Amino acid sequence: MAQDQETKIVTSRTISCDGGGGALGHPRTFYTIGESGEVICGYCGQRFKLDPNAPADTGH
């Protein structure tokens, strides 16, 4: 797991992570940010935090 990554601020509750290393990354995984306002990738440990000023997701 990566240790010294900066938290990525995102504007959507649904995000994906592929490790960012192209072929050296990991399989693309999708996450939904819940009430805590953040989620951590289970593969690489990247932390994603929802921008408090992000517009509400409308869904499909």
In order along its 60 residues, the chain shows pLDDT tens digits of 445 679 999 999 999 999 988 888 999 999 999 999 999 999 999 999 999 998 876 555
> Strands 47-50 and 38-40: what pairing?
antiparallel
Helices (H), 1-60: none
- The answer to the question of residue 35 being in a domain is yes
User: 16: Cβ–Cβ under 8 A, 6 or more apart, which residues?
Assistant: 28, 29, 30, 31
Tally the domains of the chain: 1
Range of the domain at 22: 8-44
**Nearest residue to 48 via CA among 30, 22, 60:** 30
- The answer to the question of residue 25 being in a domain is yes
- The answer to the question of residue 12 being in a domain is yes
Please compute, for residue 31, the number of CA atoms within 13 A of its CA located in the half-sphere on the CB side: 23
- The answer to the question of residue 13 being in a domain is yes
- The answer to the question of residue 33 being in a domain is yes
**So what's the pLDDT on residue 58?**
55
- The answer to the question of residue 20 being in a domain is yes
- The answer to the question of residue 2 being in a domain is no
- The answer to the question of residue 51 being in a domain is no
